[in-house]
Structure 1
Amino acid sequence: MKKLYLLSLLLLIVIGCKKEAPKTKPVTVKKTVPAIILTDERTVEIDTGAIGRYKSETLKQFYLASENKTVWGNLKKRTYVLSQFEKAEALGLEPEDYKFSQLKKFEQRISSLSDTDLATYDILLTYNFEKYLNHLYKGKLDPKKLYGNWDLEEKTFDVNTVLVKAFNRNKLDSIVENIQPKAETYKELLKSLEIIKDFPDDKDIPSIEGVVKLNLKDTSNALIAIKKRLLFWKDMSGKDSLTQIYDQKTFEAVKRFQERHGLEPDGVIGAGTIKALNYSKEHRRQQIIVNLERWRWFSTEFAENYFIINIANYSLNVVENKDTTLVRNIAVGTNKRKTPVLTSKLRTVVFNPTWTVPPTILKEDVVPAMKRNRNYLAKKNITIYDSSGNIVEPSAWNENKPNRYRYVQSPGYNNSLGLMKIMFPNHYSVYLHDTNHRNIFGRNNRSLSSGCVRVENPLELAQHILDDEGTWPQDRIDTIIASKKTTSVKITKNYALYQWYWTAWSKKNQLLFRADIYDLDADLYSKLRD
Structure 2
Amino acid sequence: MRRSVAIGVLTLGIMLVSGMAMAQQPTAQEGSVSAVEQALEQQNGTLEAFYAARDFQAAWTRESRVEALVEAMKKLAEDGLEPTDYGADRLLAEFRQAQAGDDMARGRFDTRATRALLTALRHLHHGKVDPNSIDADWEVPINAQLPPMGAIVRAVDAGEITALLDSVRPAYAPYQRLQQGLARYRHIQRLGGWPMLPEGGPTLRLGEAHPDVAILRERLARVGELEVMAADPSILPAADLEAPDPRRFDADLEAAVKRFQDRHLLETDGVVGPRTRAALNVPVGKRVDQIRLNLERARWLMHGLPEAFVLVDIAGYRLSYFRPNGQVWRSRIVVGQPYRRTPSLRSEITHLTVNPTWTVPPTILREDVIPKVRRDPGYLARQNMQVLSPSGQRLSPGQVDWSNPGNVMIRQAAGPGNSLGQVVVRFPNDHLVYLHDTPAQSLFSREQRAFSSGCIRVQGVLEFAQLLFDDTGSGHDLRALLADGRTRDVPLAETMPVILHYWTVHPDSGGQMVFRPDIYERDDALLRALDRPLAL
Alpha-carbon contact 1:136-1:296 (below 8 Å) kept: yes
Give the TM-score taking structure 1 as reference length: 0.85
Q: What are the residue-to-residue correspondences of 1:188-337 with 2, within 5 Å? A: 188-199=177-188, 200-202=190-192, 205-211=195-201, 213-220=203-210, 222-240=212-230, 244-321=247-324, 323-337=326-340
Matched, 1:83 2:71: yes
Indicate conservation of the 8 Å contact 1:192/1:505, yes or no: no
- For the residue of structure 1 that corresponds to 2:327, the secondary structure is strand
Higher relative contact order (CA 8 A, sep 6+): 2
Please give the per-residue CA displacement for 1:493-516, whole angstroms capped at 9, x wherever unaligned.
442112222222334443332222
Bigger Rg, structure 1 or 2: 1
Q: 2:430 aligns with which of 417, 427, 431?
A: 427
> Against the structure 1 CA distance between its residues 234 and 93, is the aligned structure 2 distance closer, same or farther, given a 3 Å change threshold?
same
CA distance in 2, matches of 1:364, 1:326: 36
Q: CA deviation at 1:66?
A: 4.6
> How far is the alpha carbon of 1:521 from its aligned partner?
1.8
**Per-residue deviation, 1:212:** 7.0
Gaps of 5+ in 2: 23-40, 232-244
When residues 299 and 237 of structure 1 are mapped into structure 2, their CA distance, relative to the original with a 3 A threshold, is: closer
**Against the structure 1 CA distance between its residues 388 and 493, is the aligned structure 2 distance closer, same or farther, given a 3 Å change threshold?**
closer
Q: Distance in 2 between matches of 1:322 and 1:520?
A: 35
Q: Do the aligned partners of 2:389 and 2:395 also contact (CA within 8 Å) in 1?
A: yes
**Structure 1 residue 202: deviation in Å?**
4.2
Counterpart of 2:116 (choices 99, 124, 128) is 128
1:481 Cα deviation after fit: 2.1
Shift of 1:322: 6.4
SS in 2 for 1:332: strand
Aligned position for 2:92: 104
Tell me the amino acid that sits aligned with residue 418 of structure 2.
N
Q: 1:338 to 1:194 in 2, by over 3 A?
A: same
Measured in 1, the distance between the counterparts of 2:7 and 2:392 equals 77
Shift of 1:330: 1.0
**Are 2:166 and 1:177 equivalent residues in the alignment?**
yes
Tell me the alpha carbon deviations over residues 270-323 of structure 1, each in whole angstroms, 9 at most, x when there is no partner.
Answer: 344223212211111111111110111114122121112211221112212462
Secondary structure of 1:226's aligned partner: helix
Shift of 1:64: 4.1
Is the CA contact 1:463–1:472 (under 8 Å) kept in the aligned structure 2? Answer: no
The 3-state SS of whatever aligns with 1:251 is: helix
Could you tell which deviates more after superposition, 45-54 or 325-334? 45-54
- How many equivalent residue pairs? 489
Bigger CA drift: 321-330 or 282-291?
321-330
Q: Tell me if structure 2 keeps the 8 A contact 1:235–1:256.
A: yes
Q: Give the drift of 1:372.
A: 1.2
d(CA) in 2 for partners of 1:485, 1:411? 9
Is the 8 Å Cα contact of residues 172 and 302 (structure 2) preserved in structure 1? no
Matched residue, 1:516: 518
Counterpart residue number, 2:30 = none
- 1:82 aligns to what SS in structure 2? helix
Q: Using a 3 Å threshold, how does the CA distance of structure 1 residues 67 and 357 change in structure 2: closer, same or farther?
A: same
Matched, 1:155 2:138: no
Cα distance between partner residues in 2 of 1:522 and 1:388: 46
- Residue 490 and residue 271 in structure 1: after superposition, are their counterparts in 2 closer, same or farther (change >3 A)? farther
* TM-score of the aligned structures, taking structure 2 as reference length: 0.84
Q: CA deviation at 1:486?
A: 0.4
Question: 1:349 touches 1:488 (CA, 8 Å); kept in 2?
Answer: yes
For residue 187 of structure 1, what is the amino acid of its counterpart?
A: Q
Q: How many angstroms does 1:67 deviate by? A: 5.2
Question: Which of 16, 33, 41 is the equivalent residue of 1:50?
Answer: 16
Secondary structure of 2:421's partner?
A: coil
Q: How far apart are residue 140 of structure 1 and its match? A: 0.4
* Aligned pairs (5 A) from 1:384-395: 384-395=387-398
1:6 matched residue in structure 2? none
5 Å-filtered alignment, 1:355-504, equals: 355-468=358-471, 472=475, 476-504=477-505
| Cα shift readout 1:369-406 (whole Å, capped 9, x = no counterpart) | 12212222221111111123222222222224335111
CA distance, structure 2, for counterparts of residue 498 and residue 282 of structure 1? 30
Per-residue deviation, residues 188-244 of structure 1 (Å, max 9, x unmatched): 111211222221444672344225744312355543443332122221223335755
> Relative to 1, partners in 2 of residues 1:229 and 1:410: Cα closer, same or farther, differing over 3 Å?
same
**How far 1:414 moved relative to its partner?**
0.8
How large is the Cα RMSD of the aligned pairs? Answer: 2.7
- Other-structure match for 1:5: none
Given the alignment of the two structures, is residue 72 of structure 1 paired with residue 60 of structure 2, yes or no? yes
CA contact (8 A) 2:80 2:295 kept: yes
SS at match of 2:90: helix
The amino acid that maps onto 1:146 is I
In the alignment, the residues of structure 2 paired with residue 381 and residue 211 of structure 1 have an alpha-carbon distance, to the nearest angstrom, of: 50
- Tell me the residue number matched to 1:31: none
CA distance in 2, matches of 1:339, 1:346: 17
Which one-letter code corresponds to 2:396 in the other structure? E
Aligned CA distance change for structure 1 residues 400 and 258 (closer, same or farther; 3 Å): same
Once residues 146 and 481 of structure 1 are traced to their aligned partners in structure 2, the CA distance between those partners, rounded to angstroms, is: 41
SS in 2 for 1:412: coil
Q: Structure 1, unaligned stretches of length 5 or more?
A: 1-37
The amino acid across from 1:390 in the alignment is: Q
Q: Give the Cα–Cα distance (whole angstroms) in 1 for the partners of residues 355 and 203 of structure 2.
A: 43
1:14 aligned residue: none
